[in-house]
Amino acid sequence: MIPGRPAARSLRNRTGYAELDNVAPDANWLLPMIQAVGENLGELPELGLADAGYRSEDNLRNAPIKVVVALGR
């Protein structure tokens, strides 16, 4: 867990922490996660895959890469 964030969970990796939370939906996290991947890899991937929780018009319109998002469970 990240100090001061009791509702959040985190995964430790080589570059730091990837933060996960228990607040639905996940749509608020898609664009920041794409940006973080680009920063960690030095370039953006060509394609992103996401489950239905990440679906929103803003995400599909504003994603800097092609994103395939599930329509349902």
| pLDDT tens, position by position, 27-67 | 888 999 999 999 989 999 999 999 898 899 999 999 999 99
* pLDDT at 71 (0 to 100): 87
- List own/partner pairs for 65-72 with CB under 8 A and 24 or more apart: 65/34, 67/30, 67/34
pTM, full prediction = 0.65
Can you list the positions of beta strands (E) in 1-73? 8-13, 16-21, 47-50, 66-69
* pLDDT at 44 (0 to 100): 94
* pLDDT at 72 (0 to 100): 78
DSSP state of 23: P
Q: What are phi and psi of 27, to 5 degrees?
A: -55, -35
| CA distance linking residue 7 with residue 39, whole number of Å | 26
